[in-house]
A and B are shown apart, each in its own frame.
With several copies, the nearest count.
Chain A
């Protein structure tokens, strides 16, 4: 039996609208990366509209695609920001 981790997912701005949810959770294999999570979100019946280079924050810091996730992480999908 493989070790699994669970992460909390957040969808902001237009992503929240397109995903029809602002929050969710995902189960992943241990040692999964940000890229693995995004791929699983894009999977069959999923968020196939997510752009190629989606910006992600892990625990409220901008993160690279290769960043390894840990159980309990908060992962936010960040559409193009438009403050100011």
Chain B
């Protein structure tokens, strides 16, 4: 009856589509329980407009093995920090078209407040810790690594020691 932490977490990094809800429905059926009164399912999708620019497609690059380990670590930490029953999370890599799902997170919990808080914590933590980089391609043919300093800004702070 009591489940180990490992039995209640599923994480993966993949080149395959995450668009389909069904794979998460299946996982929740496996790892959830009738003690869970709430399910929170979050999807991040490729949006057409980002910071005012028209995006044509995205490319996600990952530090593969480290990303797998960090995503698993984040979800296990969520299980310890919040009163949740199960967590499933996946992140896409490779080329994504507009509207495609880049990240998906399913959380089950006895009570909804824990589910909302855990789901939000997981996505925010993914955004600061998961070693994945987003290369945005725009309709005008330009591209940009999201979060990267511009080459000029980089040069102006280069050459010095660790802060």
Contacts and interface: CB of A to CB of B under 8 A. Distances in A.
Establish whether A and B are touching in the complex (CB under 8 Å): yes
A12 B102 contact: no
B158 A76 contact: no
Nearest to A10: B63
Contact of B128 (A39, A79, A81): A81
A51 B152 CA distance: 11
Contacts, number: 104
Interface string A67-84: 000000000101111111
Contacts of A47: 158
Interface residues of A, number: 31
Nearest to A83: B132
Interface string B127-163: 1111111110000000001111101001101111111
Interface residues of B, number: 38
B151 A81 contact: no
Interface in A21-45: 35, 38-39, 42
Contact of B159 (A17, A35, A48, A84): A48
A60 B62 CA distance: 12
Name, among A10, A18, A42, the residue most crowded by chain B CB atoms within 10 Å (CB to CB): A18
A29 to B, nearest CB: 18
A65 B162 contact: yes
A83 B101 CA distance: 12
A7 to B, nearest CB: 16
B91 A48 contact: no
B37 to A, nearest CB: 9
B63 A17 contact: no
Interface of A: 10, 12-14, 16-18, 35, 38-39, 42, 47-54, 57, 60-61, 65, 76, 78-84
